[in-house]
């Protein structure tokens, strides 16, 4: 397939590769020579500002040919329904579909809106309520995938049965964040100090005492439980370790602990691991490098994966820092306060740096479901959580997407507020494979 466009911009090349290459499996080339387009014998599409004869045409909004970060709110209006799907960047001339799908998809997957001014939450994060997806009611849908499948069907009608599409296969990536490796064990003097805290119940104090004495299993020590489940379902999970110094939001045991070293070593022998950059590292980037170096030393392997603690991301600086430190895969793309598709896509993609107007080599792996979202933000009971998870899995599976879950060892503890939630996780695995 040949795509004509007046300018082969970095933005256009990027989104064509995602939509046509990754999601539709179409072999295509591009040209900015009108004469070459006219004389090409085969499926072709004119993506420009004006039609060329009667050849298939998709009117460009112009956003993909702009180098800067300019508010697109006027160009996007009105937001309308394309059959049953919301759409924006409407075309004014007769086009194969009624909106500029390339601009719309780029706007969402590049996280364009997160470069613009917004009201941050208490952790300086971009909350879901600030997103177009939340306001227009499509956060729970992999909208880019759904658009692209309909666009592919439109192309097949234009070009006939010889025009083939190859949709991706559904995949599942479970991930585990280890913010607190143990609740009571292996914390040294800090653990003993906690034993005498005045604000804990006698039941908790007795439980802590039994764990420290070795008479009771630590509630957060769920590593064998996880290993058995992952091997049962033949899964390839990723574990993210918080290896930062103690702080108000960084509460893991000391990374210099021999027990922590042993835990990292054991898990890294069987599963993929990544760094969980500390909350404090967002304000002191030198810490990230120290944490990465420490995890590399403990695991005796290169650290190429990352997920931000508290999901703290500031575009483009967080991703730039991580790339500078050797990170190749990033797993923070999701919201803390809502389930769904933060970038409106159920597929890994490369990060596009809008400020420098270039595609990078950083591969972004979105997640759709997190235990803390279900329990703390949405206040769901286990049965309700399972139902919501099933809906997201079905949305992802239907488009051949990649479903990714974010869970913590703490929420498998069956202790206090997490009573009943290990069943949610085991059911998630059962449904997602």
Which CATH number do you get for residue 273? 3.20.20.370
Same domain, yes or no, for 314 and 408? yes
Same domain, yes or no, for 279 and 402? yes
**Number of domains the chain contains:** 2
Alpha helices in 160-285 (DSSP H): 188-195, 202-212, 223-232, 258-270
Residue 375 lies in a domain: yes
Same domain, yes or no, for 146 and 176? no
Label residues 372-393 b or e (16+ Cβ within 10 Å = b). bbbbeeeebebeebbebbeebb
Same domain, yes or no, for 126 and 238? no
Residue 286 lies in a domain: yes
pLDDT, position 36: 98
Same domain, yes or no, for 113 and 178? no
10-residue mean pLDDT profile of the chain (433 residues): values are 97 98 98 97 97 97 95 96 97 96 98 97 97 98 98 96 93 97 77 51 68 84 98 98 87 88 96 96 91 96 97 97 97 98 98 98 98 98 98 98 98 95 98 98
Same domain, yes or no, for 103 and 179? no
pLDDT, position 208: 72
Residue 121 lies in a domain: yes
Residue 208 lies in a domain: no
Using one digit for the tens of pLDDT, what is the confidence trace for 246-298? Answer: 888 888 888 889 999 999 999 999 999 999 999 999 888 899 999 999 999 99
Same domain, yes or no, for 302 and 222? yes
Same domain, yes or no, for 361 and 256? yes
Residue 192 lies in a domain: no
Residue 425 lies in a domain: yes
Same domain, yes or no, for 299 and 230? yes
pLDDT, position 188: 58
Same domain, yes or no, for 143 and 233? no
Using one digit for the tens of pLDDT, what is the confidence trace for 173-206? Answer: 999 999 999 999 887 555 444 544 556 565 566 7
Using one digit for the tens of pLDDT, what is the confidence trace for 311-328? Answer: 999 999 999 999 999 999
**What is the domain range of residue 119?**
2-159
């Amino acid at each position: 397939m040949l795509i004509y466009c007046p300018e082969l911009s970095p933005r256009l090349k990027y989104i064509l590769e995602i939509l046509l290459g990754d999601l539709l499996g179409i072999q295509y080339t591009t040209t900015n020579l009108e004469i070459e387009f006219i004389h090409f014998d085969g499926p072709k599409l004119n993506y420009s500002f004006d039609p060329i004869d009667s050849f298939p045409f998709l009117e460009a909004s112009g956003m993909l040919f702009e180098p800067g970060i300019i508010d697109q709110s006027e160009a996007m209006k009105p937001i309308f329904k394309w059959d049953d799907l919301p759409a924006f960047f409407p075309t004014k001339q007769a086009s194969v579909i009624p909106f500029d799908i390339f601009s719309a998809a780029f706007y969402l997957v590049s996280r364009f809106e997160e470069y613009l001014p917004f009201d941050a939450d208490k952790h300086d994060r971009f909350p879901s309520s600030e997103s177009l997806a939340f306001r227009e009611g499509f956060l729970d849908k992999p909208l880019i995938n759904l658009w692209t499948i309909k666009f592919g069907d439109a192309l097949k009608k234009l070009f006939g049965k010889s025009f083939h599409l190859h949709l991706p296969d559904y995949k599942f990536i479970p991930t585990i964040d280890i913010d607190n490796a143990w609740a009571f064990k292996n914390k040294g003097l800090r653990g003993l100090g906690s034993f005498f805290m005045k604000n804990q119940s006698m039941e908790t104090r007795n439980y802590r005492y039994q764990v420290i004495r070795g008479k009771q299993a630590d509630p957060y020590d769920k590593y064998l439980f996880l290993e058995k489940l992952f091997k049962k379902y033949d899964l390839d999970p990723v574990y993210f370790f918080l290896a930062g110094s103690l702080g108000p939001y960084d509460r893991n045991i000391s990374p210099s602990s021999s027990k922590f070293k042993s835990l990292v070593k054991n898990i890294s022998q069987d599963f993929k691991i990544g760094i969980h950059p500390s909350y404090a590292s967002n304000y002191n980037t030198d810490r990230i490098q120290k944490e990465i170096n420490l995890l590399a030393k403990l695991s005796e392997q290169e650290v190429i994966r990352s997920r931000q603690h508290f999901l703290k991301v500031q575009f483009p600086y967080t991703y730039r820092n991580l790339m500078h430190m050797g990170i190749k895969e990033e797993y923070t793309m999701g919201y803390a306060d809502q389930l769904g598709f933060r970038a409106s896509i159920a597929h890994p993609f490369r990060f596009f740096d809008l400020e420098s107007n270039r595609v990078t080599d950083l591969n972004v792996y979105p997640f759709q479901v997190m235990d803390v979202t279900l329990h703390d933000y949405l206040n769901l009971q286990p049965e309700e959580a399972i139902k919501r998870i099933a809906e997201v899995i079905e949305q992802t599976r239907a488009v051949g997407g990649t479903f990714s879950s974010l869970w913590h060892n703490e929420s498998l503890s069956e202790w206090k507020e997490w009573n009943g939630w290990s069943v949610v996780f085991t059911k998630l695995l059962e449904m997602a494979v």
